[in-house]
Structure formats: C-alpha cells, structure tokens
Amino acid sequence: MIERIVYNLIQVAVVVGFAPLVEGVTTRLKEILQSKRGPSIFQPYRDIWKLLHKDEIVSEHSSWIFRAAPYVAFAAPVFCALLIPVLTRYPLFFAFMGDMLGVGFVLALGGFFTTLAAVDTANPYGPMGASRTRMVGFLAEPAFIMVFLTISFVAGSTIPYIVQTRWVTPIANFFEPSHILLLIAFLMLILAEDGRIPVDSPSGQFELAMIDRSKSLEYSGRGAALLKWASAMKFFVLLVVFLNVVVTPWGLAQGKDLGEVLLAIPLVLFKMFCFVLALVCIESSLAKLRLFRITEFIGAAFVISVIAVITQLSQI
Amino acid sequence: MNSSSILFALDALTGALFLLTAIGVVATRQVLASLQLFILQSVLLTLSAVLLGFAQGSIHLFAVAAITIATKTLLIPWLLRHTVSAEVYRTREIERVLNIPSSLLIAAVLIVLAYVVANPLLGAVSVPFAQINLPLGIAAMFLGTFTIVVRREAVPQLLGLLAVENGVFFAGVAIVPSLPVIAELAAAVDVPVLALVIGMLTRRIHVRLGTTSVGQLASLRDC
C-alpha cells in the first residue's frame, strides 16, 4: 500500500525531473546530426532555473486565465504521470483514476488553457498560433480517436496496463499488422501534436510561421519557465504512452522491489534515447510542410489507422 | 506457436505494408517517390510469395518471387528512369483531379469495398493465406485503378497500372499456388514491354509538349 504510493510519486518525480533532459538530448542530437555542436544537454535545466529567478511581467489587460494557464499546463502532465505506466508493469496506487482516454483529456485541458491564455493578451502572434494549434488539433482528433478505438478494440480495454501486455503475449502479437500500422499512425500523430518538423518547427524563431511556440511568447519569468517545463513534460508523457503502452512494456519493472523500480528508470530512458534518435533522423530528413498541407499529413495518419482497424477486423 | 502461424503473421504484416505502399502511390506528390514506393511494393510482393512458397512448399511461388524481383524492382524502374527524361522525376507538384485528403478518404472506402467484394469469394478458396492475400490484392487493384483515375501525370498513371498488376499477383499467389510458370513468364515479358512503350510515349509527349500531364490531353487536333 505505502510502497505503491511511494512508487507512484517516484514515477511523477521521474517525469518532472527527466523531461528537460529528454528535450536537451533531442536538441543536442539534432544539432550533431546537422554537423553542429549544439548546446549542452542540461541547457533546458539552466534555462528553467534562469527564468525562475527573473521578474514576471503580466499585461494589465489580461485576465486571470493568463496567470492561471502556466500552472494548469504544468499540472496536467504531472497528473497524467500518476495514471500511466512510466516504470512498472502493474498499476500503481492512483492508476484507477483514469485510463488512456483520461490521459488524453487531461493533456487536452492543459493545451486548452494555453490556447485561451494566448488569445487573452491580444498580442497579434498569440491568437494566430492558438488558432493554428486548434486547427492541427481538430484535424488530429479523428485520427487519435481511430487509434484509441483500434487499441481498445484489439486489447479489449482502454486501461494502459492491459493494453501493453496484450502486444507481447505471445510475442507474435507484436508483428500483427494492426499493431505495426498503429505504431506508424501514432508516431505521425505525436509529430503533429508536439509540433515536430513535418508539421511545425520546434526551434523556429519566426513568429509568422510558428504554430505551437507562439502561444507562450507573451510569458516571462516564472510563467515562461513553467510553460517550458510543461511542454517538455507533455512530450515526455506522450513518449511514455507511445513507448510503454503502444510499443511494448519492455524494460519496465515487474516485481515490487524498490531496486527493480529504480532500475527501470535507466531502461526507460534508454528506450526514449533510441526513439529520440529515430525522431531526430525523421526531423532532419524532412522539410516543414506548408500550413495547408498538414491536412494531407494527418489525413494519411487517419487512413493508416483506418487500415489498422480493417486488418484487425478481417483477421478474426 | 508453430511455424505456419508465424508465417501467417508475417504474411499479414507484409500484406498490411503492401496496402500502405499502394496508398502511398495514390497520395505522394513527387513522381520519384511514387516510383520508389512501387519498387517497395514489388519487394513486399516478393516477400509474400516467398513466405507462401515456404508455407506450401511450392516451387512455383519461388519462381514468381524471382521473376518479380528481376522485372519489377530492377528492369522496370531502370527502363522508366532511362526512357523518361530526368526532368519528369524532378517535378514535385503533380496535378491531380482530387486533392490528397479526399483521395485518401476515397482510398479508405475502396479498401473496405475490397473486403466486401472478397468476402463471398473466400468461401471458394481452401488456402488459409487467401484470407489475407485475396482482399488485400483486390484492394491494391482498386487503389491502382483509382491512381490512374485521380492522377494526371503519365508516369504515376503507369505506376497505377503496374500497381494493379501487383495486386493481381498478390491475390494470385495465394489462390493458385501452382500457377503455370508459363503464365508468369508471359506476364514477366508483357509488363516491361508495356512500361517501355509507355515510357517512350511519355518521352515523345514530353519532347513535343514540354509536359507530361496527359490528363490535359482531352481532345484531338488535326494539323
């Protein structure tokens, strides 16, 4: 009982603590692949530390939403970390509170508040980025629903702990066509949802072309630090859902030992490193799509998930 | 888990990826990319033939695999690259009848239709692999036909035609494991000649008109 609460808190600590590291590694790897040296992998920690010690300036024309949004955005991934299998294969103390759909809704709540906050300040770039984010969001939504429908249809459940076991028992399930197609579709959706390169450029500095990043332009000091941290954690949570639930539960702790749970941390981080390596290759080899081409990209993801459903239906 | 069910699973995976490449031929913008997708599709067809050959102990299917590799992944791409000028492959925006998202959605409907069409036929075939290969082969045929309809460039239209052919073979290897080699050889000679003729024709069109958007060539003109 007590240990399951403790493990759950360890899980949250891992998400909060290692999310900036994953972001730093991603940036560094991308720079290395493009024959540059790049910043240190600990740069996001330094950025957050620096921003936390700066003064915060809030526009006097903004409402409470602007002030609350960073906290909501920060809390959403932390809350998700309680529900999903970050380190263990068995459900922990708070896992009963929500399934994968719950995780999706909670993450969407954070996104919703940052969108509102971007509109709140009447900075011209904020609402533009916000409306674009919503456009990508509502295009990605049907594809997400199809993916989750397929996952729950195949596994007979939306609870991540049941789903992840389904893919590897027996191991031949891993090579099921519906599984492989789901992986492809989900990967494309992660690229779209996190503003990665074929959809949005995460390192772009040009306000008119930004989709995701322009929403936080108006923030300074603590708000900016929290939002930066929150976006890193959101990416981390999406990666955990992708790697630990949709791909495989490999490397997660099976036993109840503290040592085993702690051993899962480097294994999960290694899995993420492998994924980030693939992500960086994708990002470096593709060009950013024009805004109205995004529909094609997400449409392809949708059709792939539809094929996944069809192949699953025809198997039985 | 015995070996035949592993072969079955692998064949299913091959089939899913085969279908994905067929969709890619419908939806990609670059001419070169759709040619590469066609090559990948042919490789997957070969793979499926080899898997079925192992599962059923049929030497004919290995012959199919060898012929497919020789003609569709080597000979036809080589012919197409050399008869059609390189400029055509550099074109990026392919003029299309429908935009990409709607053609993708229609493609999804066609796949469902293929399953509906294949369902009554499945009762007539005793080979278990036909459950995978027959609907997917029919789906690839539909998607190939749809490619011909929806695209206006000559080379992608030809690739659609070849995708139809791939689909026929994909279904065929499962239904008729001992297809006479002579039929395969006939196809193996036929299809490259087709590719050659259309490639030459495209080259002439490109020289005369400066474009290969054959979709615009709708009316005759006497001169």
Which residue in chain A has the smallest CA separation from B3? A172
- pLDDT, chain B, mean: 83
Give contacts of B1 with chain A, Cβ < 8 Å: 170, 172
Kindly state whether residue B217 falls inside one of the protein's structural domains.
no
Give contacts of A315 with chain B, Cβ < 8 Å: 12
| pTM given for the model | 0.87
Give contacts of A177 with chain B, Cβ < 8 Å: 12-13, 15-17
Kindly state whether residue B42 falls inside one of the protein's structural domains.
yes
Q: Does A1 touch chain B (CB under 8 A)?
A: no
Residue A77's pLDDT is 93
Residue B16's pLDDT is 87
Question: Between chains, do A170 and B19 touch, taking CB under 8 Å as contact?
Answer: no
Residue A233 has pLDDT above 90, yes or no: yes
What are A100-148's pLDDT values in tens digits?
888 888 988 998 999 999 888 878 888 888 888 888 888 888 888 888 8
Orientation of helix B130-150 relative to helix B154-175, angle to 10°: 160
Kindly state whether residue B219 falls inside one of the protein's structural domains.
no
Residue B93's pLDDT is 61
Question: Between chains, do A299 and B17 touch, taking CB under 8 Å as contact?
Answer: no
**How many angstroms separate the CA of residue B53 from the nearest CA in chain A?**
20
Q: B92 pLDDT band (50/70/90 cuts)?
A: low
Kindly state whether residue B220 falls inside one of the protein's structural domains.
no
Are B25 and B165 a contacting pair, CB within 8 Å?
no
Residue B1's pLDDT is 46
Among the partner-chain residues B5, B9, B16, the one whose CB lies closest to the CB of A307 is B16
Residue A203's pLDDT is 73
Kindly state whether residue B222 falls inside one of the protein's structural domains.
no
Question: Between chains, do A304 and B20 touch, taking CB under 8 Å as contact?
Answer: yes
Domain count, chain B: 1
Distance in angstroms (rounded) separating the CA atoms of residues B147 and B158 = 9
State the DSSP string of B31-89.
HHHHHHHHHHHHHHHHHHHHHHHHHHT-HHHHHHHHHHIIIIIIIHHHHHHHHS-HHHH
Which among A286, A296, A313 is the top mutation candidate for probing chain B, defined by the most B β-carbons within 10 Å of its own β-carbon?
A296
Kindly state whether residue B198 falls inside one of the protein's structural domains.
yes
Which residue in chain A has the smallest CA separation from B20? A304
Which residue in chain B has the smallest CA separation from A303? B108
Among the partner-chain residues A177, A296, A302, the one whose CB lies closest to the CB of B16 is A177
Domain count, chain A: 1
Neighbours of A40 (CB within 10 A): 12
Residue B94's pLDDT is 61
Which residue in chain A has the smallest CA separation from B112? A310
Kindly state whether residue B200 falls inside one of the protein's structural domains.
yes
Kindly state whether residue B56 falls inside one of the protein's structural domains.
yes
Give contacts of A178 with chain B, Cβ < 8 Å: 16
Q: A21 pLDDT band (50/70/90 cuts)?
A: very high
Question: Between chains, do B27 and A311 touch, taking CB under 8 Å as contact?
Answer: no
Amino acid at position A64, single letter: W
Give contacts of B108 with chain A, Cβ < 8 Å: 303, 306-307
Q: Does A178 touch chain B (CB under 8 A)?
A: yes
Neighbours of B9 (CB within 10 A): 21
Could you tell me which residues come within 8 angstroms of residue A259 by beta carbon, excluding any fewer than 6 positions away?
A: none
Q: Mean per-residue pLDDT for B210-221?
A: 72
Which residue segment(s) compose the domain that A239 sits in? 2-315
Which residue segment(s) compose the domain that B90 sits in? 3-212
Q: Radius of gyration of chain B from Cα atoms?
A: 18
Residue B180's pLDDT is 67
